[in-house]
Structure 1
Amino acid sequence: MNYPDWTEALESHYAIKVASGDIHPFGDGHIHQTFLVKSGADAYILQAFNKNVFNYPERISHNHEILLEGINPKDLPFILPLPIPTKTGALLAEDKGSMFRLSPFVAGRCVNEVNDPRQAYLAAEAFAIFIRAAKDLNPQDFQESIPSFHDLSLRFRQLQEATNHTRRHFDQELREVVDFYLAQESLVQEYENWRKILPLRVTHSDTKINNLIFSENMDKVRAVIDLDTIMAGYAMYDFGDLVRTVACTEGESSRNWEKIKVDWEKYQALLNGFLEGGKGLLKEEEIESLPFGGKMMTCIMGFRFLADYLNGNIYYAIHYERQNLDRAINQMWLLKGLGESNS
């Protein structure tokens, strides 16, 4: 993709003057190309928007406008770095065929894994506080930035379809993995049962640990970032993705099958932090659904990884041919571990 001259684009759309030497690639995000922009004493994050992943940029801008108008920063103990409006009030700018946006830069540390339970507690507390801060907003006013993102029933049907139409050879290993996931139909039914009784919330919907900025000494959360997936959802989604990515003893690409277990100490820290952050908001049924959320979010990623492998690796980036199958096996072991309650 050919990007515009950022110096000209920033001055044209934001009236910000900056030298080309003050714009540098930043971070290791996989979706939007990101730059750190310095203008005098001010610093910003510039993102070239990836329309191939997010097909509905106008929906994201719509959701961000609601947040800008509806959330009082005083209700948050951290920063929510939403896009800065252009001179015309738009949250996305377009220049020479490229879409981009500008947001405040927040200094601190982003990490890819949690080293101790205290960090897990802080992470879960922060994401729950966001849900609580958005309690007066109508979740149905938010548009789906990624349609049916966490719809377990849909992902199960997609796996069934991929199984029926795959060109992969079914050796014993692949057959065992496919059979395991197709046998999770009872989990899908439980998901549908929860959907009938849980209240919709405004959720972050992508609660990985690297979507937080911590202070340098890791003693508090300074910002909740990557706000493109904010939309209507259930509290169990956000808690569940934390469990999947924080409470597992191995990363999702690990092939050390025998080492893939649940770190119950981190799990409990996540639960305590989420309950503290959601205190006064979360209803009894929501609290009861949280353990299911961990299983559900692990299962949905197993469905998605396995379906992508069966479809020929057309969605997730891979470094070797069977990586999506290995990811599905990884999630299978974690799902088994989550079924072994520590209580």
Structure 2
Amino acid sequence: MTREEYCSRIQEAIQAIGFQGEFLDYSRYGSGHINDTFLIRFKESDGHIEKYILQRMNHEIFKKPEELMKNICNVTSFLRDKIEKNSGDVKRETMNVVYTKDGSPYFRDSIGSYWRAYLFIGDAVSFDRVENVKDFYESAVSFGHFQNLLADYDAGSLYETIPDFHNTPVRFETFKTAVAADLLGRAAEVQTEIHFLLERAEEMKVCMDLLKAGELPLRVTHNDTKLNNILIDNSTGKGICVIDLDTVMPGLSIFDYGDSIRFGANTAAEDETDLSKVSLDLNLFEIYTKGFLEGCNGSLTEKEVEMLPMGAKLMTLECGMRFLTDYLQGDTYFRIHREGHNLDRCRTQLKLVEDMEQKWNEMSRITGKYR
């Protein structure tokens, strides 16, 4: 598609969605890699400039955008009711979908692309990396509060926007198939990593077995609990809103917690090649655990709290396994920027798992401390 054609699709979406006022302009916004995101400005009759977020949804990754938007609309509507009852600010504490002029939460343009819009939340910022301990703590409180607000939502009523996203046993079977197929002849050079994962086969199924047994409850989960999916208020420094709800679906609370630890409490970058730099920062682990459980405000069960360290380990193990699977299959899923990039990512995750195992007793002590 040419730039002119793409601009035409943007204008088509702007005209279809129920924005208020006189259109002023739009510009690219944010650093996301999945959807195309724009900041739209409209001038209202009283001279006020209202901002909106417009996104072209990536329906190659999210195959059923209609179901995805139903999830988002239902969850944000539920959140607004809770926030209102708590005397909160419904325009800043949750995302608000802007419907099309004919009442739909999304618009499908003339070439079949899906578009959606949200109210813009101003005077707030998100961070791509943990640069400030307080911000990491605030993200923990926010994701925990998200769990608390949705604790009585019927998670089973949500669609799976990406089926088996955190079904680790299914991911493990896919990995073993990739090893057996060895499409590019890469398996021989990664035998150490393959055996590391195979040796932990029993752990791969622990959490899903507990879910099936009813010992871990099915929850509404975010499934992308990175720091940059929390908006932090510029004036108060407090986390105010959980954003990017594309992967909201049924899941386990310990996985949301665990993915934050995997991403935020690692002393190195996700693709660090010097593995001596990779370890679990126990201080950040404790800070996040404290904030998350404060935000949950007693809504987790005793078993969920007990299993938080396993959530961290399993999400790290699963992520490393996914990177290795993609490497064996020819780097077809994760975008790479150099030869062996997915292998580097895999090794970083597995080294972090190894370090967690060495610090297991301390991790368990910390979670018990804030139970």
Deviation digits for residues 232-284 of structure 1, max 9, x if unmatched?
Answer: 11110110011000000112111121010011101001110111011131110
What is the CA distance between 1:86 and its match in structure 2?
1.5
What is the CA distance between 1:183 and its match in structure 2?
1.5
Q: Indicate how the Cα distance of structure 1 residues 8 and 18 shifts in structure 2: closer, same or farther if over 3 A, else same.
A: farther
Distance 2:22 2:353 in 1: 49
3-state DSSP class of the match of 2:327?
helix
2:36 is aligned to: 33
Structure-2-length-normalised TM-score: 0.87
Distance 2:207 2:339 in 1: 32
Residue pair 1:45, 1:102 contacting (<8 A) in 2 also: yes
Match of 1:284 among 302, 305, 308: 302
Structure-1-length-normalised TM-score: 0.94
Distance 1:103 1:79 in 2: 13
What is the CA distance between 1:208 and its match in structure 2?
0.6
Q: Provide structure 1 residue ranges, at least 5 long, that are not aligned to the other structure.
A: none
2:25 is aligned to: 22
3-state DSSP class of the match of 1:167?
coil
Out of 131-140 and 264-273, give the one that drifted further.
131-140
1:177 matched to 2:193:
yes
3-state DSSP class of the match of 1:226?
coil
Distance 1:87 1:208 in 2: 33
1:82 is aligned to: 96
2:110 is aligned to: 96
Match of 2:245 among 204, 227, 233: 227
Aligned ranges 1:6-85 → 2 under 5 Å: 6-16=10-20, 18-19=22-23, 22-40=25-43, 41-71=49-79, 72=81, 73-74=83-84, 75=86, 79-85=93-99
1:191 matched to 2:207:
yes
1:247 matched to 2:265:
yes
Q: Indicate how the Cα distance of structure 1 residues 170 and 313 shifts in structure 2: closer, same or farther if over 3 A, else same.
A: closer
What is the CA distance between 1:168 and its match in structure 2?
3.6
Residue pair 2:272, 2:345 contacting (<8 A) in 1 also: yes
Residue pair 2:19, 2:42 contacting (<8 A) in 1 also: no
What is the CA distance between 1:189 and its match in structure 2?
3.1
1:296 is aligned to: 314
Identity, in percent, stands at 32
Structure 1: which amino acid aligns with 2:134?
Answer: R
Match of 1:118 among 128, 131, 134: 134
Deviation digits for residues 163-208 of structure 1, max 9, x if unmatched?
Answer: 0001344576511111111221021132233323101111111101
3-state DSSP class of the match of 1:34?
strand
Out of 283-292 and 170-179, give the one that drifted further.
170-179
Distance 1:218 1:180 in 2: 45
Q: Indicate how the Cα distance of structure 1 residues 168 and 175 shifts in structure 2: closer, same or farther if over 3 A, else same.
A: farther
| Backbone CA RMSD of aligned residues | 1.9
2:163 is aligned to: 147
